Amino acid sequence: MSGRNCALSKQPVIETRGLTKRFGPVRAVDGLDLTVPHGSLFGFLGPNGAGKSTTIRILTGLVRPDGGEALVLGVPVGRRLSLGPRVGALVEEPAFYPWLTARQNLRLLTSLSGGCSPAEIDGTLETVGLTGAADRTVGGFSHGMRQRLGIAQALLPRPELLILDEPASGLDPEGLAEVREMLRRLHEEGMTIFLSSHLLAEVEMTCTQVAVVMGGQVIAQGDVGDLLGALAPGTRLVVDDVQAALRTLAPIEGVHAEAMGDHTLLIGGEVDTSAVNEALVRAGVRVSEITPVRRTLESVYMQTVGREPSAGVAADDEGNSEGGMSGLSDDGGDRS
Amino acid sequence: MAALRSELSKLYRMRITWASFGVVLLLVGLITWGSHHEQDHLDVDREFGSQFIVAGKTVTALFIANVALQVALVVLVPLLIAVVVGGLIAGERQTGSLRMLLSRPVARWKVLIAKLAASWAYAVTVTLFIGLCGLGLGQLVFGWGDLVVLRGGLTIFDPQTGLLRMAYAYGLGCLAMCSVAAVTLLLSAIVNNPMTAAGLSVASLLVSGIVAEMPYFESIKPHLLTSHLDVHREVLVVSIERADVVSSVTYLAGYLVVAAVIALIVFERRDVTC
C-alpha cells in the first residue's frame, strides 16, 4: 500500500515480548513475541487454539497476561485506558443489545468513552453500509449486519489502531468484498489495522504483513509481498501427452519439468513460455493451457504450521517448496 | 454519569424489568381483591375473636400498603431482584455484550459502580412500587384511614402517623432490598450464567433463613443477612426500639458495602473469556 515504507519507520503500534497466558494447565499464549509496524494492515493467522483470540483479548484489556509485556501504541496494556479512544476493537462475534436500534447501540457504547456526535455515528453507519438500517432494532439483524455494526462501534470515535478479530466471519461474498474494500480504504487513510482471520485468501488480498501463531508463539512473521514472491514461481501446462512433453523439454537448458498427472506438467522457476510452447508444438505435442503458478498464502501457511497443503494448492505450489517461509523472519523456528 | 445512564437505560428497557413490575402490580391487586372480599373476616377477628369490637374501617389504603410490603419483601422482591440483577453482569457476560463493552476504553470500576447503582435503583423502585400500588389500589377500593397493624397484638396508628411509619418501613425495606441486590450483583460478577446467579442468590437467602431457625446456629443468627431483612417491621410498633433498628441498619449497610467491594475486586480482576 502507498506510504507503507514511510510508516514502517515509526514505533510499532503493537509490541509483545514473552507474552504468556495460562488457563489452568493450558498455555494459551506461550512467550509470544510480536511486532506490528505502524501503518500496516496486519494479518494474524493461526489454527484454532493457537492463541490468536487470547492475544487479542490481552491487547484489548479483556484478559490479564500472566507474564511478559504487551505494548499498544507504546503503552502497557495494563494502562491502556490512558490511550482513550485511540484504539478501536471488535473481539470475536459482536454482541449488541437486541432491543435497541443500531444507532442507539452505538450511542450507548460510545457514551462510555467520551461520546460521539450524531454526525460521526451517521457517518460510520454509512461507512459500514448500515444507513438504511440505523433505526431498526438489532434483534432483527442478520449475522452480516451485526458484524458490520461491530466494525462500526470499533471505528467510533475514529481510532489510530483498529483491532479486529475475525471481522469477515459469517459474511457473504458481497459482504466480504465490502469489508475488504473498507479495510483497504481505512488503511489508505492512515489507520493501522490488526486483524485475525481464518480466511487466508482474504488476508492475502487485504493485508500487507502477516504473523503466523501456533502453540501460543509466533512462528513466522513478515511482509505478504516478500512471502508470496513478486513473480510467479512456476508454469503449469496442460498437454495431450505428458511423457512426450517431458522428453521434448528435457534437453532444453534451464527448464525443469515435472509430471503432475496424465495431462499436466509443472515447470519450476522462470521460463520463456513462448519458447517452451514452440518446442512442444514442433514436437507434435498439443498444448491446451499454459498458466503461470503463484504461491498462495494458504500454501505458505500450511507449510508453516506443518500441515500438508490441500490437493489444489499442492498442484499450484509444487516445485516451489524450496522457497518455504523464505519471505518470513523466523521468530520461533524451534517450534516450527 | 454516562455509565449510569447507560446502565439505567438498559435496565429499564429490558422486558424482565417491566414484567417484574407487572408481577408486583398483580400481587398487590390480588391482596386488594382478597381483602375486599374477606374484609369482614380478616385476621383481626381470627386473632382476637370476641375480645375486641373494632369500630370503623380496619382495611384502608395504608393497611393494603403494609400487607403488600410484609408479603412481598419475604420472597417475591428478593426473587425479582435475583432474576433482574443476576443478569446485569452474568447475563451480559453470557451474551457477549460485556466483552464488547469492556473492549472499549472504559474503566471497569466505572461500569461496576454504574451496575451497582442501577441494581439499587431497581431495588428501590420495585419496593416503592409496592407502596405506590398498595396506596393507589387501597385508596381506590377502601379509601383513606387508620393503619391497623397485626403483629403480636393490635396496633392502630392514626392516618398521619401511619403514613409516616409506612414511609419509615418502606425506607428500611429499600435498604434491605439494596443489600440483597448487592449480594446478587456480587454473585453475578462471579458466575457466567444469569440463572446461576439468580439461583445462588435465592439459595443463599433460603439457606441463611433456614440456618437462622436452627438452635445450633443461634450464635450466628444476629449476623446473618436474612435476620435483618424484616427490619421494616420494627417501626410498625408504638414504641420503636431504636437500638434494634440501628443494629439492623448497620448490618444491612455492612452487607451492602462488603458485597459491593468484593464485587468491585472480582469485576476488576476477572478475565473476560466469554
Predicted confidence band of residue B113 (pLDDT cuts 50, 70, 90):
very high
Collect all residues of chain A within an 8 Å Cβ-Cβ radius of residue B112: none
Contacts of A183 (CB under 8 A, 6+ apart): A41, A164, A167, A193, A195, A206
Q: Do B95 and A95 touch (CB under 8 A)?
A: yes
A102 phi, psi to nearest 5 deg: -60, -45
pLDDT at B247: 95
pLDDT of B56 reads 65
Q: Is the pLDDT of residue A288 over 80?
A: yes
**pLDDT at residue B186 in the model:** 97
- Measured between CB atoms, does A81 come within 8 Å of chain B? yes
**Residue A336, pLDDT above cutoff 90:** no
Vertex A200, ends A163 and A46: CA angle to 5°? Answer: 65
Q: Is the predicted pLDDT of residue A325 greater than 60, yes or no?
A: no
Quote the pLDDT of residue A55.
94
Dist. CA A86–CA A81, nearest whole Å = 10
Q: C-alpha cell of A276?
A: 517452451
* Contact between A91 and B110 using a beta-carbon 8 Å cutoff: no
CB contact under 8 A, B107 and A62: no
Q: Between residues A177 and A56, which one has the greater pLDDT?
A: A56
Please indicate if any CB of chain B lies within 8 Å of the CB of A132: no
**pLDDT category of residue A293 using cuts at 50, 70 and 90:** confident
Is residue B40 within 8 angstroms of chain A, CB to CB?
no
pLDDT above 50 (res A164):
yes
pLDDT for the residue numbered A291: 86
Beta bridge partners of A257: A267
> What's the confidence (pLDDT) of residue A310?
41
Is B159 exposed, middle or buried (CB count within 10 Å of its CB: 0-12, 13-18, 19+)?
A: middle
**Percentage of residues in chain A with pLDDT exceeding 90?**
39
Question: In this complex, do A95 and B271 lie within 8 Å of one another by their Cβ atoms?
Answer: no
**pLDDT confidence of residue A198:** 77
The predicted structure's pLDDT at residue B52 = 62
| Smallest Cα distance from B6 to chain A, Å | 6
pLDDT of residue B25: 96
Q: How far apart are CA B250 and CA B259, in angstroms?
A: 14
Residue type, A193: I
Residue in A82, A96, A111 with CA at minimum distance from that of residue B1:
A111
pLDDT at A334: 36
Q: Tell how many helices (H) and how many strands (E) occur in chain A.
A: 12, 14
Nearest CB to A93 within list B15, B96, B101: B96
Counting one residue from chain A and one from chain B, the pairs whose CB atoms sit within 8 A come to: 76
Structure confidence at residue B10 (pLDDT): 86
Q: Of the candidates B97, B105, B269, which has its C-beta nearest A81's C-beta?
A: B105
The closest CB to that of B272, out of A57, A85, A150, belongs to A57
Chain B contact set for A105 (CB, 8 A): none
Higher pLDDT, B48 or A83: A83
Query: Are B273 and A84 in contact (CB < 8 Å)?
Result: no
| Residue B222 forms contact with A (CB below 8 Å) | no
- Whether A99 has its CB under 8 Å from any CB of chain B: the answer is yes
Read off the pLDDT band of A22 (50, 70, 90): very high
Q: Does the distance separating the beta carbons of A83 and B105 come in below 8 Å?
A: yes
Q: Average pLDDT, stretch B250-266?
A: 97
- Interchain proximity B104–A97, CB inside 8 Å: no
B144: buried, middle or exposed (CB in 10 Å: 19+, 13-18, 0-12)? middle
- B270 vs A: CB within 8 A: no
Which residue, B104, B103, B97, B98, is CA-closest to A110?
B104
Which of A199-203, A219-223, B72-76, B256-260 has the highest average model confidence (pLDDT)? B256-260
- With cut-offs at 50, 70 and 90, classify the pLDDT of residue A295: low
State the pLDDT at residue A7. 43
Q: What percent of chain B has pLDDT over 70?
A: 93
Is the pLDDT reported for residue B40 higher than 80?
Answer: no
State how far the alpha carbon of B43 is from the alpha carbons of A202, B49, B127, in Å. Answer: 76, 9, 24
Does residue A75 belong to the interface with chain B, where contact is any CB pair within 8 Å? no
State whether A95 and B97 contact (CB < 8 Å): yes
For chain A, the average pLDDT equals: 81
**B262 vs A318, residue with greater confidence:** B262
Q: What is the mean pLDDT of residues A128-141?
A: 92
Looking at the partner chain, which of A87, A92, A113 has a beta carbon nearest the beta carbon of B106? Answer: A113
pLDDT higher than 60, residue B44: no
Contact status of B250 with chain A (Cβ, < 8 Å) = no
Q: Do B9 and A108 touch (CB under 8 A)?
A: yes
Neighbours of B64 (CB within 10 A): 26
Test A111 with B2 for CB contact under 8 angstroms.
yes
- Give the mean pLDDT of chain B: 90
Instruction: Name, in order, each residue with C-beta under 8 angstroms of B179's C-beta and a sequence gap of 6 or more.
Output: B225, B228, B229, B252, B253, B255, B256, B259
Asked if the model's pLDDT at residue B57 lies above 90, the reply is no
Helix (H, G, I), strand (E, B) or coil at A76: strand
**Overall average pLDDT of the B148-154 stretch:** 79
Residue A190 has pLDDT above 50, yes or no: yes
pLDDT at residue A166, as a whole number: 87
Chain A contacts of B13, Cβ < 8 Å?
97, 99-100
A146 and chain B in contact, CB less than 8 A: no
CA distance A128 to A171: 13
